[in-house]
Structures are given as C-alpha cells and as structure tokens.
C-alpha cells in the first residue's frame, strides 16, 4: 500500500475573525508513505531539514495519537515529505501536518470517517477551526468549536490579488498566545464582535473594501501581538489605500489583500521588504487529497 496526501496551507483570523475564519491557499504539504517496521522520514524540502526523521516526528506522534483515540492498532510508516509551507510563520504548517496524520490513519485502518467526523477530531485536537477546516475542505470558512462540536459555514473565496510577506524568523504559536489578554471588558467585547460580524457579512457579499476595513480594525489579537512582528506598522503605513493587511494566523507572516488594478505590488514589496520572502497567493478550493495505491 502506498499513500499519497496533499494538504494546502491556510491563512487564518483575517483580522477580527480570531480563531474562527480561515482560508486555504496554494502552498502545500505533500506526503508519500508506505507501511514500515519502524518510522523513517525523508525530507525533500529545505524548510523541513531540521525536523526529526524517526518516531519523534510530529506526524508520527499524531498518527499514534489518533490510533489510540480511535481504538485501532498503531502502525509505522516510511514517509517522504515535501513542503513549501514555511514552519512557524502563521500559514498553518502544523494544521496541515495534523490533517495528513488523520487522513493516513483513516485510510490505513479503513475507518471511512465522514468529513464532519474528520472535522470534529481535528478541531478537538487543534482547539479552533480556522486552519484545519479550510485546509481540509478548501476555500474560505467561518467556524466555531465548542466541546465536541464544530459548526462551520463556507464563504465565497476572496478573488482580489493577495500576497504574503514572510519574514526570516519564526514565531511559535504558544508565544503569540502568551501575548494575549486573559479577559476583555464588556465594551471591547461588543466592539470586537461587531467588527467581526461586519467582516463576515461583507465577505459573504464579496464587498472586499468593507471587509478590508474591518480586517484593519481588529481588537481581539493584533494590538497585543504587533510588538512581536517586525515592520507590522511600517507595512500598514506604506501600503496606504492600495490594499489591506492583517496578521496571518498568529504571525509573523503578514497577509495583504490589494485592490484590483494596483500594478507592480509584488515588485514594490520586494523592494521595500527585501529581507522577506514575498509570494502572491491564490485560494485553494479543493482542500486535502488522500489517495491510496495498492
């Protein structure tokens, strides 16, 4: 049995859609795996070169975790991995690996889990749906996870030009979480809720000017994390009225949505932020793919 898995990256939060809204984008984790007597990993992408090659690998640990959770016999794999999803940059690298792990368990043990069952397991593990749900099913998705339930609704994908500004340093999600307040007062909670409500409504109507304005007014997390992000304020100021910018996930990657007709944005970004990797990205509407060949 040979298993092939392809999982897209994701951008999440979209400003005020904190822990709720995410979109799959066209960078990918790809895995080829076969049953083995022990865990062995071969990494074909430079960004994966520092990862373990044995049973301590995140995917090995998650496969074993899901086997225990689903009460099936554990197994080992020989795995070849490629990826262009930067690690610890706010583009859903851990979420894509989590999805791959569960899909592999699902096919190896012939569990035939439904999409909803996969989503429940993934969001229970991740704690929020904004990365794993869009990466699993594709597109732009709003979701809410509570207890053992996940409620989600696909939205029209953003069709304006989009870019990611990827720094050369990592930001661990745990460190970004530590920057957040433990509580919000009532006034701030009402404001944050209203902004996120307008964001969802404007995305559903493809009113991207209004959506962008809401993306720039987050009060849930960006005000508390921006000190961790070099050039956060600089990019917002320089971009001006040509588009909108928000933190991708917990950061440190910055995500830009630009107005149609704005020319040479990528070249301008590369000039102004020469120490960063600049990518133009598109939505992925397909989501994760898992194929088995006997």
pLDDT greater than 90 at residue 38: yes
Interval 248-267 mean pLDDT? 91
Interval 168-193 mean pLDDT? 89
Residues 150 and 203 both lie in one domain: no
Could you read off the pLDDT of 58-75 as tens digits, one per residue?
999 999 999 999 999 999
Interval 179-191 mean pLDDT? 91
Q: What is the DSSP string of 270-289?
A: HHHTTTSEEEEE-B-SS--E
pLDDT greater than 90 at residue 172: no
Residues 108 and 206 both lie in one domain: no
- For 74-113, b/e burial (b = at least 16 CB within 10 A) is ebbbbbbbbbebbebbbbbbbbbbbbbbbbbbbbbbeeeb
Residues 36 and 171 both lie in one domain: no
Binding-site residue numbers are 86-96
Residues 167, 168, 169, 174, CA torsion sign: positive
Residues 231 and 145 both lie in one domain: no
Q: Taking all residues of the chain, what is their mean pLDDT, rounded to a whole number? A: 95
Question: Which residues lie closer than 8 Å to 93 by C-beta, 6 or more apart?
Answer: 9, 29, 83, 85, 86, 87
Residues 241 and 289 both lie in one domain: no
Residues 11 and 86 both lie in one domain: yes
Residues 287 and 268 both lie in one domain: no
CATH of the domain at 210: 3.30.70.890
Enclosing domain of residue 68:
2-156+283-293
Number of domains making up the chain: 2
pLDDT greater than 80 at residue 294: no
Residues 55 and 201 both lie in one domain: no
Residues 265 and 124 both lie in one domain: no
Do 23 and 215 touch, CB atoms closer than 8 A?
no
Binding-site residue numbers for ATP are 86-96
180: left (phi over 0), alpha (psi -120 to 50) or beta: beta
Residue 124 has a CB neighbour count (10 Å cut-off) of 14
Residues 167 and 133 both lie in one domain: no
Interval 29-41 mean pLDDT? 97
User: Which pLDDT belongs to residue 93?
Assistant: 96
User: Which pLDDT belongs to residue 262?
Assistant: 79
Interval 107-111 mean pLDDT? 97
Kindly indicate the confidence band of residue 152, based on its pLDDT and cuts at 50, 70 and 90: very high
User: Which pLDDT belongs to residue 241?
Assistant: 87
Interval 118-122 mean pLDDT? 97
Interval 104-127 mean pLDDT? 96
Could you read off the pLDDT of 232-249 as tens digits, one per residue?
999 999 998 899 999 999
Residues 277 and 288 both lie in one domain: no
Residues 16 and 119 both lie in one domain: yes
User: Which pLDDT belongs to residue 148?
Assistant: 81
User: Which pLDDT belongs to residue 50?
Assistant: 92
CATH of the domain at 38: 3.30.230.10
User: Which pLDDT belongs to residue 86?
Assistant: 95
pLDDT greater than 80 at residue 279: yes
Least confident piece of the model among 13-17, 45-49, 171-175 = 171-175
pLDDT greater than 90 at residue 159: yes
């Amino acid at each position: 049995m040979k298993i092939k898995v392809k999982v897209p990256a994701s951008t999440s939060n979209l400003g005020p859609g904190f822990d709720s809204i995410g979109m799959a984008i066209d960078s990918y984790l790809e895995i080829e795996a076969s049953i083995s007597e022990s865990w062995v990993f071969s990494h074909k992408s430079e960004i994966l070169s520092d990862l373990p090659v044995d049973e301590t690998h995140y995917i090995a640990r998650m496969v074993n975790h899901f086997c225990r959770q689903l009460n099936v016999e554990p197994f080992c794999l020989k795995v070849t991995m490629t990826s262009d999803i930067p690690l610890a940059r706010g583009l859903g690298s851990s979420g894509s690996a989590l999805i791959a792990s569960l899909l592999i368990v699902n096919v190896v043990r012939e569990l035939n889990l439904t999409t909803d069952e996969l989503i429940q397991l993934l969001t229970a593990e991740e704690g929020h749906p904004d990365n794993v749900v869009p990466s699993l099913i594709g597109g732009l998705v709003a979701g809410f996870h509570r207890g053992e339930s996940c409620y989600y609704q696909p939205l029209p994908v953003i069709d304006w030009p989009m870019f990611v500004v990827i720094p050369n340093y990592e930001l661990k999600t745990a460190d970004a979480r530590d920057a957040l307040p433990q509580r919000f007062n009532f006034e701030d909670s009402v404001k944050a809720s209203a902004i996120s409500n307008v964001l969802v409504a404007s995305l559903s109507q493809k009113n991207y000017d209004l959506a962008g304005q809401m993306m720039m007014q987050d009060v849930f997390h960006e005000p508390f994390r921006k000190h961790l992000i070099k050039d956060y304020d600089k990019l917002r100021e320089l971009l001006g009225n040509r588009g909108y910018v928000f933190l991708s996930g917990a950061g440190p990657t910055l995500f830009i949505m630009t107005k149609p007709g704005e020319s040479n944005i990528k070249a301008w970004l590369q000039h102004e932020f020469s120490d960063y990797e600049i990518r133009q990205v598109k939505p992925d509407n397909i989501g994760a793919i898992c194929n088995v060949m006997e």
